[in-house]
Amino acid sequence: MNRFRTTGISGDLQGDLPAHQDLFDSTRPHCPRLLLVDDEPRVLASLQEMLEGRGYAISTAATGSAALACLVAQRFDLVLLDLLMMDVDGHQVMDFINLHDIKADVIIVSGVVGIDSAIGALKRGAHDYLRKPFSREELLHTVENALRQRELQQTNRRMAAALEVSEKKYRYLVDASPDMIYMLGHEGRFTYVNDRACQMLGYERDELLGRHYTTLLHADDVERARYVFNERRVGERASRDVELRVTCRAGPIQARAAGTTVMTISLNAIGMHREKQEPHTPTYVGTYGIARDVSARKRAEAVIYHQAYHDILTDLPNRVLFKDRLGLAMLQARRKRTELAVMFIDLDRFKLVNDTLGHVHGDGLLQQVAARLKDCLRKGDTLARQGGDEFTIVLPELRSRDDARVVADKFIERLQQPFDLGGNEVHISASIGIAIYPEHGESIDELLRNADIAMYQVKDLGKNGHAFYDASMQDALHQNIALEHNLRRALERNELEMYYQPQIDAASGRIIGAEALIRWNHPLRGLIMPAEFLPFAEESGLIVPISEWMIDTLCRDMAHWGTDGEDALTLSLNLSPHYLDHSRFYETMQSALQRYGIGPGRIAVEITENICIRNPQHAIEQLKRLGQLGVSVAIDDFGTGYSSLAYLHRFPIQTIKIDQSFVQQISDPDGHYPVVLAIISISRGLNLDLVAEGVETEVQARYLRAHGCSTMQGFLFHRPMPLKGFVNVLNA
């Protein structure tokens, strides 16, 4: 018997199917549909009888035309077709099936013996050929075999379709991934890259495939990258989160630039292996890896790191980084047995600039100062901002301490040049303390502390200079600490005393007022002037209780001589701006006046002109409250600060005092002293009282009197004196 069968699926695919699954069991849920076509009724009935009871859905057609109608109306899995029929023969039916792409397999059941009929059926896609007569077993076997192969082919097609869908999904996920996905061959050349890799690197896919990975790496990272891109480890031992730098073309692929840029990637890589014929002998075939662009994160980390160790305003190292660099410099100096210098710089009068021009200009000044200081340093020196207006410097590898002195002189010279702050020309200076390692300290904190002590020594001596640390400065510091401690107890021990310097009407020589000045009768050091202890009082907060003591003492003393007929005498008291900002200032003054029965018109409060600029609105409110109380206001040391005629016009001020520094310049009665003349003109124009301070010679008195200033105070007339002496002068 001749049979023609198509080839089944490969043994490899059959081996991949689960062993327990029987796709051809008669209990399978799909019921095969069979069409039996034969124009001999007995043969048709015989075919139907042999196939019934096998789980098939059977339809019959007694003619070729009927078979065509069935094929159009229904779907069949298998057609058992006779070739020789009267109207439409079997070949024509198969042509119809092929023409209309009907998915049905055909088994020819025919009694035709000629080979041409069999060849014609085979060419038209017949699955098998049964020659009549045939046995039931042969028929059943042929049908079952055809259905089995059909279902295997359908399963194969479904699996192929699923694989195609899966591959499309995989390709979409891979190409749409935000990460670069690649594969390298065992030689280190790219065998696959996804779309993202092309976009990130700026190359077409064809340009990357076959290219060696080293051509994309930053030169400094090639050696470190070899074990990553040639990764042979698997599982938990695979390379993870390794950061490398790669070069990529600048700009998009469509508009490439000639240059390249550097990108930082975080790389995960795992080796790919192929098993040999012998067990447990893997062969390395390449690397599979995923890389992510972390350039933005690296830049952010760099910014965060920079901000953690640098001052935001000046971009200089902060105190943390400064101490780290100082520590390294000390290690090198110890190893090389050389010296280094630590400088502590504090800007003089910076607070005044900040208060008068505002914090924006103050910040601009700090930035300009930082730039000037940097210009004076070597490449290996470190300039840092400690905070506020304080800077620190490390000068390593000194040949001698004269090197540090030269640098300090450069600083002072550069800082004395004017600064332009929004059109305002500002002059400042600096106090610089210098400590030498290892002579002045062998630790970071010790060197900084001693440089700081030297800087304060410069400030105490008049500022605008530099000084090297000396052990004697430590003794002076201890004395200052002791002075501050004793000052806290001075109030309790009644060691403070008020002195009075009379103010004279130069025309008549009559005393018309006096300025109250505080003194400290120290039990060991004797009489201490206010310039020596009031700065400590302001820094420690003692200025508040001391100022309240001054107000109370002044009113008490006025009550003492008030009965002597000197009601017209006015007493002025110089109060600290820090105390004038205090909330209890007005209440304290009012309470003291009421307690001692003093008329407020006999009191004048002296303030420096800078308080009017530091917080104008607050100053206006405070001074207006004093005016409502009846207390007059005088500006002390006029002309030495940032004067403003607008402030003089707006503020409730009755008196201005010419500072003694201008008065002391007068040496010729016929000379021209424009500042003094200008202040006198201002007082006249604003209808303000005028007092000249520090008058010590007749020439000064005559000049002032000749140009319209008749109220004076100074050593020419009287020195400051205790209350008893002042009362004696009044009664003389």
**Percentage with pLDDT > 70 across the chain:** 87
Q: Residues with Cβ < 8 Å from 126, sequence gap 6 or more? A: 4, 94, 106, 107, 108
- Condensed to tens digits (0 to 9), the pLDDT of residues 633-673 reads 888 877 665 555 666 677 788 888 998 989 999 998 888 89
- Condensed to tens digits (0 to 9), the pLDDT of residues 394-438 reads 999 898 889 999 999 999 999 999 999 988 888 899 999 999 999
| Domain of residue 432, residue span | 310-469
Closest CA to 208 of 248, 168, 254, 264: 248
Q: Are residues 375 and 292 in the same domain?
A: no
In a domain, 97, yes or no: yes
Q: Are residues 599 and 696 in the same domain?
A: yes
In a domain, 167, yes or no: no
In a domain, 482, yes or no: no
Decide if pLDDT at 628 tops 90. no
Q: Are residues 332 and 462 in the same domain?
A: yes
Decide if pLDDT at 256 tops 80. no
* C-alpha 196: how far from chain center: 30
Mean pLDDT of the residues in the chain: 83
Sign of CA dihedral 462, 467, 472, 473: positive
So what's the pLDDT on residue 227? 67
| Band (389; pLDDT cuts 50, 70, 90) | very high
So what's the pLDDT on residue 228? 66
So what's the pLDDT on residue 585? 81
So what's the pLDDT on residue 419? 93
In a domain, 476, yes or no: no
In a domain, 267, yes or no: yes
| Band (457; pLDDT cuts 50, 70, 90) | confident
CA distance linking residue 452 with residue 443, whole number of Å? 14
Q: Are residues 516 and 610 in the same domain?
A: yes
Q: Are residues 552 and 700 in the same domain?
A: yes
3-state secondary structure 49-102: HHHCCCCCEEEEECCHHHHHHHHHHCCCCEEEECCCCCCCCHHHHHHHHHHCCC
- Lookup: tokens for 105: 């397999």
Q: Using only C-alpha atoms, what is the Rg of the chain?
A: 53
| Band (27; pLDDT cuts 50, 70, 90) | very low
CA distance linking residue 95 with residue 566, whole number of Å? 142
> Mean pLDDT lowest for which of 77-81, 287-291, 726-730?
287-291
Q: Are residues 344 and 200 in the same domain?
A: no
Which has more confidence, 713 or 132?
Answer: 713
How many C-beta atoms lie closer than 10 Å to residue 401's C-beta?
15
Q: Are residues 325 and 287 in the same domain?
A: no
Which has more confidence, 646 or 549?
Answer: 549
In a domain, 489, yes or no: no
Considering its fold, how many domains does the chain have in total?
Answer: 4
In a domain, 383, yes or no: yes
Decide if pLDDT at 715 tops 90. yes
Q: Are residues 536 and 559 in the same domain?
A: yes
Residue 282: give its domain's CATH number.
3.30.450.20
Span 302-327, average pLDDT: 91
> Is residue 429 within 8 Å of 412, Cβ to Cβ?
yes
- Condensed to tens digits (0 to 9), the pLDDT of residues 42-68 reads 989 988 988 988 889 999 999 989 999
So what's the pLDDT on residue 639? 65
Q: Are residues 430 and 324 in the same domain?
A: yes
Q: Are residues 449 and 501 in the same domain?
A: no
Span 311-332, average pLDDT: 93
Residue 353: give its domain's CATH number.
3.30.70.270
Decide if pLDDT at 254 tops 60. no
- Condensed to tens digits (0 to 9), the pLDDT of residues 687-709 reads 889 999 999 999 999 999 999 99
Say which amino acid occupies 605: V
So what's the pLDDT on residue 343? 96
Span 126-145, average pLDDT: 87
Q: Are residues 359 and 414 in the same domain?
A: yes
CA distance linking residue 32 with residue 54, whole number of Å? 10
> Is residue 32 within 8 Å of 105, Cβ to Cβ?
no
So what's the pLDDT on residue 569? 83
Decide if pLDDT at 461 tops 50. yes
Across the strands, what pairs with 657?
A: 691
| Peptide bond connecting 279 to the previous residue in cis, omega within 30 degrees of 0 | no
> Is residue 349 within 8 Å of 429, Cβ to Cβ?
yes
Residue 612: give its domain's CATH number.
3.20.20.450
Decide if pLDDT at 317 tops 90. yes
> Is residue 444 within 8 Å of 342, Cβ to Cβ?
no
Sign of CA dihedral 87, 90, 92, 98: positive
CA angle 520, 524, 529 (to 5 degrees): 30
So what's the pLDDT on residue 564? 44
CA distance linking residue 629 with residue 551, whole number of Å? 15
CA distance linking residue 43 with residue 41, whole number of Å? 6
CA distance linking residue 692 with residue 637, whole number of Å? 9
Tokens 């700090």, located at residue: 366
| Band (19; pLDDT cuts 50, 70, 90) | very low
DSSP characters over 376-432: TS-TT-EEEEEETTEEEEEEEEESSHHHHHHHHHHHHHHHHS-EEETTEEE--EEEE
CA distance linking residue 21 with residue 153, whole number of Å? 16
Span 91-109, average pLDDT: 91
Residue 55: give its domain's CATH number.
3.40.50.2300
> Is residue 466 within 8 Å of 409, Cβ to Cβ?
yes
So what's the pLDDT on residue 4? 35
CA distance linking residue 606 with residue 600, whole number of Å? 14
Span 485-490, average pLDDT: 85
> Is residue 611 within 8 Å of 621, Cβ to Cβ?
no
So what's the pLDDT on residue 7? 28
Q: Are residues 277 and 316 in the same domain?
A: no
Which has more confidence, 537 or 278?
Answer: 537
